[in-house]
Amino acid sequence: MAVGLVFVVAASGLLGFGLRYVLPKRDRLGIALMPSVGVIAGSLGWATSMWVGLSPDGLWSWIISLGLAALAPIVVGLMLPPRRDASDAALWIGLAR
């Protein structure tokens, strides 16, 4: 079980790092945000699948873990830049007064 978690963490980090360069507006995100989100989501998926009783050698635990590791950075990478731009614009208006 512990060795599987190590592989999930490594694969999730690499997946998040790769997705950083595929998604738009990567200059609005930090370099460590996407891999961190991928590692957290993949680890939570692995822990949840182990808690439910899925086998560490089974395919479903890997699909759940790596699926979450791919989905979470995509959601964060698409939702965060527009929110950050809006927040920066509001701050700029407040500071310009």
pLDDT, tens digit, for every residue of 74-86? Answer: 999 999 999 999 9
pLDDT, tens digit, for every residue of 15-52? Answer: 999 999 999 988 888 899 999 999 999 999 999 999 99
Domain span including residue 14: 2-96
Q: For the CA atoms of 3, 9, 15, 16, what is the dihedral angle to 10 degrees?
A: 180
pTM of structure: 0.87
Query: Per the structure, how many domains does the chain have?
Result: 1
Residue 55 and residue 90 in contact, taking contact as beta carbons nearer than 8 Å: no
CA of residue 60 relative to chain centroid, distance: 19
Q: How far apart are the C-alpha atoms of 31 and 82, rounded to whole Å?
A: 17
